[in-house]
């Protein structure tokens, strides 16, 4: 072999060896990278991925806020009406399931699912994840855990739950999907959506040049701020009785529906707001008539009829155009603009005082007062009492009512409005106007929320707010005396309670036709609004019954319902009787009223016992959630 051939062969051998060395180095380098990557994933980043994959989903919990609760006042604290029920998602990792058939046999009865359907999901060795069932309660989840089945796991799920079912459902509303997201729908759940939802947290972590997270890099978690808890002015016991009373009255008088609103006269706080028919907030998806989701106390308007007469009389007395003993001659009818307006009884009563106008509910009498006031001044008083504008109560769906007819300053419109026809309002507006008379002449802003407790435990309390003075204290006292006389001597007798002075007024109103104008001759609304005790009132209340079929006048429907609730609340507030009464008076009251509304219920009739919460308990609960 020549030197030239040997040199060429040696050069080729060196090139081959170099390639082998490069390949070996590449293989070792690649292996090293893989080992290093596995080391970082399994050792250095082990805690991170373990945390991310753990059943507790701590990262998830830190980033997603818990929805705040809604609570009402109760004797020993607070009664929860909207809470978060902790449930479980049950899922499987099929490749870890040792015996799909046996596993399916054991858990199918607990989950109330088809055994073969579960087995099909479990018998997939190459699958990492299979959902078995959502929203499984803790009792069932624990029953499955105790079996120690491999490949079966649980993940926490929250569901909005309403412990009282139908209780205060039209006030509270519910959480549901609008097609895009799950959020508060109707009532307080919708109005306070932002506050109840809270604020989502955020997660910041180092990324590589490709935008991928670096598992062992620094990570910063900004925790979520849980939603605020909303504490209401609603009294659990009064609301419960009001719901019972309106349901029974609607059924007894074959009415289309009804509403009771109870307000605290010194502050404007709403103590109860009950309507029938209503719905179960836990089963809202089963409701066919969506109109029951709305709260009629703030969303429904009506022409209230003669229960408005005290408002007209209050304006006249405050303006000093009449006094309680001012007289006029009732001829039984008033003619205006081609119309003849008569008294409801069709009678001409001759000379009558203003007190008798309210006792006998004379249309001609309040028209007399309106004429003395003049259309413009009457309109201004109607506005000052809060009609024609929203009260601003903290819930969704409130409407302002309609006083446009009075605003036209036409006499015929003002005459009919003086006795509550041709003018519309919400039940809340009407009871708030009576609060003006009850508290000495001040229009207050009604409110439902006593306080808000934020996720950081900061408390925001609602302060009572006076909107304006509507009438003098002296005029309001005159009205109170006149309304006491209505209950004692007029159409409001069945609203009275033995031993107490009750002030109030009935109203039986025509219902406008839905089409074609005019009024429906076969339908009416019965109302009674008032307060007690008359000269130191603890509550103002309105009872409204929509089109009761088997009774004509409110004195026989709304008035006794008012009396039943008034009797209950006077006892509930511990108000001592101020007037003399006999056992015969009590017997007569019991004979003409539904005693189940105001007497202590039997054990089986009481409201379902629910856990109560104090502020301290709530704070302790939040601390546990943070830990």
pLDDT tens, position by position, 511-563: 998 887 889 989 999 999 999 999 999 999 999 999 999 998 999 999 999 99
pLDDT higher than 90, residue 43: no
**Omega of the bond leading into 363 within 30 degrees of 0 (cis):** no
**In the chain, where does the domain assigned CATH 3.40.710.10 lie?**
244-281+304-452+464-605
CATH 3.40.47.10 fits 58-161+193-227, yes or no: no
Q: Looking at the domain 244-281+304-452+464-605, which fold is it? A: Beta-lactamase (3.40.710)
Identify the top-confidence range among 116-120, 181-185, 221-225: 116-120
Confirm if 516 and 525 have CB atoms less than 8 A apart: no
pLDDT band at 15 (very low <50, low <70, confident <90, very high): low
Distance separating alpha carbons of residues 192 and 114, to the nearest angstrom:
41
Confirm if 114 and 100 have CB atoms less than 8 A apart: no
Mean pLDDT of 594-606: 68
pLDDT higher than 50, residue 612: no
pLDDT at position 203 is 59
Higher pLDDT, 141 or 39: 141
Q: What is the DSSP letter of 445?
A: -
Residues in the chain: 627
pLDDT higher than 60, residue 210: no
pLDDT band at 620 (very low <50, low <70, confident <90, very high): very low
Mean pLDDT of 53-70: 63
Higher pLDDT, 624 or 452: 452
Whether the CA torsion 118, 121, 124, 130 is positive or negative: it is negative
- Percent over 70 (pLDDT), the chain: 82
Mean pLDDT of 30-39: 59
Confirm if 234 and 171 have CB atoms less than 8 A apart: yes
Higher pLDDT, 417 or 3: 417
Give per-residue pLDDT as tens, 422-442: 999 999 999 999 999 999 999
**In the chain, where does the domain assigned CATH 3.90.1310.10 lie?**
58-161+193-227
Query: Which 3 state secondary structure label does DSSP give 141?
Result: helix
Higher pLDDT, 611 or 271: 271
Range of weakest confidence among 75-89, 192-206, 346-360: 192-206
Distance separating alpha carbons of residues 529 and 309, to the nearest angstrom:
11
Reading the block at residue 111, the tokens are: 């989950």
Average pLDDT, the chain: 87
- Percent over 90 (pLDDT), the chain: 72
Higher pLDDT, 188 or 27: 188
């Amino acid at each position: 072999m020549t030197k030239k051939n040997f040199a060429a062969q040696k050069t080729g051998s060196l090139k081959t060896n170099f390639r082998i060395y490069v390949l070996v180095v590449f293989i070792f380098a690649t292996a090293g990278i893989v080992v290093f990557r596995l080391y970082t994933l399994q050792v250095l980043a082990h805690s991170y991925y373990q945390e991310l994959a753990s059943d507790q989903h701590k990262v998830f919990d830190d980033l997603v806020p818990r929805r705040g609760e809604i609570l009402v006042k109760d004797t020993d604290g607070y009664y929860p009406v909207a809470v978060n029920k902790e449930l479980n998602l049950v899922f499987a990792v099929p490749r870890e399931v040792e015996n799909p058939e046996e596993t399916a046999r054991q858990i199918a009865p607990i989950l109330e699912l088809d055994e073969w359907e579960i087995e099909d999901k479990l018998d997939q060795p190459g699958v990492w994840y299979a959902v078995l069932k959502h929203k499984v309660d803790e009792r069932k989840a624990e029953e499955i855990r105790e079996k120690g089945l491999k490949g079966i796991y649980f993940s926490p799920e929250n569901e909005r739950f309403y412990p009282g079912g139908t209780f205060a459902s039209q006030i509270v509303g519910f959480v549901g999907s609008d097609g895009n997201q799950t959020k508060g729908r109707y009532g307080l759940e919708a109005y306070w959506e932002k506050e109840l939802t809270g604020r989502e947290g955020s997660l910041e972590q180092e990324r590589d040049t490709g935008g991928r997270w670096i598992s062992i890099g620094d990570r910063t978690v900004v925790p979520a701020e849980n939603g605020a808890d909303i504490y209401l002015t609603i009294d659990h016991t009064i609301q419960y009785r009001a719901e019972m009373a309106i349901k029974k009255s609607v059924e007894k008088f074959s009415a289309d529906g009804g509403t009771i609103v109870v307000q605290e006269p010194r502050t404007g706080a709403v103590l109860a707001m009950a309507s029938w028919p209503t719905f179960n907030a836990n089963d809202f998806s089963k409701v066919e008539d969506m109109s029951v989701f709305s709260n009629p106390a703030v969303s429904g308007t009506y022409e209230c009829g003669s229960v408005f007469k005290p408002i007209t009389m209050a304006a006249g007395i405050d303006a000093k155009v009449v006094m309680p003993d001012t007289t006029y001659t009732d001829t039984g009818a008033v003619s205006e603009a081609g119309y003849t307006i008569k008294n409801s009884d069709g009678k001409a009563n001759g000379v009558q005082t203003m007190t008798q106008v309210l006792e006998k509910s004379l249309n001609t009498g309040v028209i007399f007062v309106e004429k003395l006031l003049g259309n413009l001044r009457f309109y201004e008083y109607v506005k000052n009492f809060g009609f024609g504008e929203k009260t601003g109560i903290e819930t969704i769906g409130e409407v302002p009512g309609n006083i446009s007819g009075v605003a036209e300053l036409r006499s015929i419109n003002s005459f009919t409005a003086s006795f509550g026809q041709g003018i519309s309002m919400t039940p809340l507006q009407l009871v708030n106007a009576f609060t003006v008379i009850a508290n000495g002449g001040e229009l207050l802003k009604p409110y439902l929320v006593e306080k808000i407790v934020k996720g950081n435990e900061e408390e925001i309390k609602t302060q009572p707010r006076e909107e304006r003075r509507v009438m003098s204290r002296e005029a309001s006292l005159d009205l109170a005396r006149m309304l006491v006389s209505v209950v004692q001597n007029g159409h409001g007798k069945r609203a009275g309670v033995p031993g107490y002075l009750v002030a109030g007024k009935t109203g039986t109103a025509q219902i406008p036709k839905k089409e074609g104008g005019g009024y429906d001759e076969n339908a009416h609304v019965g109302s009674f609004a008032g307060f007690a005790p008359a000269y130191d009132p603890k509550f103002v209340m309105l009872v409204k019954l929509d089109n009761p079929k088997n009774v004509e006048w409110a004195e026989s429907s709304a008035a006794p319902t008012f009396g039943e609730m008034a009797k209950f609340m006077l006892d509930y507030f511990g108000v001592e009787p101020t007037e003399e009464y006999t056992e015969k008076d009590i017997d007569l009251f019991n004979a003409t009223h539904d005693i189940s509304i105001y007497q202590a219920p039997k054990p089986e009739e009481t409201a379902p016992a629910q856990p109560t919460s104090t502020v301290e308990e709530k704070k302790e609960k939040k601390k546990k959630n943070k830990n």
